Amino acid sequence: MGERLVTAARWCWAYVRRAPGTFVWLAILLLTTVLIRSVSPATADHILERRSTNIHYLVESPVRVLISSALYIAGGGWVGYFVLYNLFHVPVERWLGTGRWLTVAVIAHVGATYLSEGVLLWAIDHGQAPQSARYTLDYGVSYALAGVQAVLTYLLARPWRYVYLAGLLLFYGFGVVSERDFTSIGHFSAVLLGLACYPVARGRSPEWDPLAWARGAYRRLRGRAVGGTPADGG
């Protein structure tokens, strides 16, 4: 039992250290989530309002709110983001390296924030939204996540690349059509910005074929099940 625990701990550490940026970010999100849930609703609202990338604060203190807004979760629980980060951020950070992965996340987060708030400002100036919308809460990590999901397209081998891209565009495009708010526009903008990061991803590693990987994993598992040497797989 002790050996199994040691083996599991070593595996977990090896897994985490291959994507250090992702897990540091998750640790910060866990701490801020616990903080927000441990204070009164009024205090939580004050904390989040001060870290919101709304029009007012993008003019007054843009750097501060662009950084701090990405350290809090908007909607959903931390566990859900833990799953999403492992599905998308981890493979992209391993593939691109921490520096390039962070570059994509920052471009998506900052770019989509300004694009979506720009649309909102246009709506305010043209009487399509109230002046109070300048102070709307806008924080969270979903723009960065959408950008990273988009750049992951270039890791996939054809034809899976096109299937994945179509699903991504349909998912976020449906949000724009159905919601028609600045947040859905921000998410779709983040996807486009992630796709525009192709130069960051170009030539990083061989394309990944999910079907070939699944076949290889099945052969290895079958080899272990019969007690022999695992068969070679793709």
19-224 topology per CATH: Rhomboid-like fold (1.20.1540)
Provide mean pLDDT across the span 168-194. Answer: 94
- Burial status of residue 206 (CB atoms within 10 A of its CB: 0-12, 13-18, 19 or more): exposed
Query: Residues 8-66: pLDDT tens digits?
Result: 888 889 899 999 999 999 999 999 999 999 999 999 999 999 999 999 999 999 999 99
Gap between the Cα atoms of 230 and 232, Å rounded:
7
Asked whether the bond before 159 is cis by omega within 30 degrees of 0, the reply is yes
Provide the pLDDT for residue 234: 35
Whole-number pLDDT of residue 208: 72
Residue 226 confidence (pLDDT) above 70: no
Kindly report the number of other CB atoms within 10 A of residue 93's CB atom.
Answer: 25
Query: What is the spatial distance between Cα 158 and Cα 44, in angstroms, rounded to a whole number?
Result: 46
Question: What is the distance, to the nearest Å, from the Cα of residue 72 to the centroid of all Cα atoms in its chain?
Answer: 13
**Domains of the chain by residue range:** 19-224
Q: Is residue 118 exposed (0-12), middle (13-18) or buried (19+ Cβ within 10 Å)?
A: middle
What tokens does 154 get?
């270039």
Report the alpha-carbon distance of residue 221 to residue 202 in Å, rounded: 33
Q: Which residue has the higher pLDDT, 4 or 94?
A: 94
pTM: 0.86
The mean per-residue pLDDT over the stretch 205-215 comes to 70
pLDDT score recorded for residue 26: 97
The mean pLDDT value for 210-224 works out to 71
Question: Looking at residues 191-203, what average pLDDT do you find?
Answer: 92
Q: What pLDDT was estimated at residue 224? A: 63
Q: When comparing pLDDT for 221 and 110, which is higher?
A: 110
